[in-house]
């Protein structure tokens, strides 16, 4: 069974540009989560999508946005890129909770570098 | 605010010894915890989880202990191997909200 897949692996942009990162969850998983991991730091929660709806977002500016498609894949969009946005962006997926929290399984991330 | 932290940012152990990685959490309402392993250039890998109705859970060479009285979580790795070298994160969750991750502990296995 394929795990969570993310594309691209690496992305290089300049300040002010826009970036789009993509994530395909594990088959059968309906929830998708996005995290930012800056160099040497822990995981900071960005966004949570479930059944196509945004369920929660972390403490990030509105230029970080995303969506989830009917096939449960997801996109993370970052507008007006800033140098501080350089980080590893991780996507995770989980089964629907049905009232019980399910473990999240991660992809290997997209390394976003802002020049 | 709520936070999940680790007592030791780095841990070095001899190959073959047992490793213990600790995590303190601040939210007494947290009811689900996960340990992840992250190797260089890869995403976090699920190791083991535990819910708050349990004190201990064992996997292959790993054991997670939960002490709700002092809000402490630990990961024990038996017979540590070079392949165990990585950064280990604990994560907490309560009421189905988003997980909160600790800053991580780097485990180095010495030959």
Residues of chain B with C-beta less than 8 angstroms from the C-beta of A106: 36, 43-46
> Taking Cα atoms as reference points, which of B84, B102, B7 lies closest to residue B39?
B84
Alpha helices in chain A (DSSP H): none
The string of pLDDT tens digits covering residues A41-71 is: 789 999 999 999 999 999 999 999 999 999 9
> A108 to chain B: which residues are within 8 Å by CB?
41-43
- Find the chain B residues whose C-beta atoms sit closer than 8 A to any C-beta of A: 31-32, 34, 36, 41-46, 49, 89, 91, 93, 96-104
Helix (H, G, I), strand (E, B) or coil at B71: coil
- DSSP lists the bridge partners of residue A13 as A114
Give residue-wise pLDDT tens across range A9-21: 999 999 999 999 9
The SS3 assignment for B83 reads: helix
For residue A67, the SS3 value is: strand
Confidence of residue B6 (pLDDT cuts 50, 70, 90): very low
Task: Report the C-alpha dihedral over residues A60, B35, A68, A70, rounded to 10 degrees.
Answer: -170
Q: For an interface test with B, which of A50, A101, A105 has the most B Cβ atoms less than 10 Å from its Cβ?
A: A101
* CB neighbour burial string for B26-39, b if at least 16 within 10 angstroms, e if fewer: ebeebbbbbbbbbe
Helix (H, G, I), strand (E, B) or coil at A66: strand
Tell me whether residues A42 and B103 touch, CB distance under 8 A.
yes
Q: For residues A41 and A87, give the distance between their C-alpha atoms in angstroms, rounded to a whole number.
A: 10
Smallest Cβ–Cβ distance between A108 and the set B42, B96, B101 belongs to: B42
């Amino acid at each position: 069974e394929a795990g969570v897949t993310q594309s691209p692996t690496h992305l290089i942009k300049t300040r002010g540009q826009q970036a789009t990162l993509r994530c395909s969850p594990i088959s059968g998983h309906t929830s998708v989560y996005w995290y930012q991991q800056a160099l040497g730091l822990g995981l900071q929660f960005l966004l949570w999508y479930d059944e196509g709806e945004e369920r929660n977002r972390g403490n990030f500016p509105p230029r970080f946005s995303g969506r989830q498609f009917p096939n449960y894949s997801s996109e993370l969009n970052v507008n007006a890129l800033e140098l501080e946005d350089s980080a590893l962006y991780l996507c995770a997926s989980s089964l629907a909770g049905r009232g019980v929290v399910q473990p999240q399984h991660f992809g290997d991330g997209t390394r976003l570098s802002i020049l | 605010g709520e936070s999940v932290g680790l007592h030791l940012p780095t841990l070095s152990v001899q190959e073959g010894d047992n490793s213990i990685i600790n995590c303190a959490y601040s939210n007494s309402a947290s009811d689900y915890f996960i340990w992840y392993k992250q190797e260089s250039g890869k995403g976090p890998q699920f190791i083991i989880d535990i819910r708050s109705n349990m004190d201990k859970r064992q996997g292959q060479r790993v054991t997670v202990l939960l002490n709700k009285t002092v809000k402490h979580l630990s990961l024990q790795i038996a017979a540590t191997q070079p392949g165990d070298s990585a950064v280990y994160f604990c994560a907490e969750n309560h009421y189905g909200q988003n997980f909160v991750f600790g800053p991580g502990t780097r485990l180095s296995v010495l030959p």
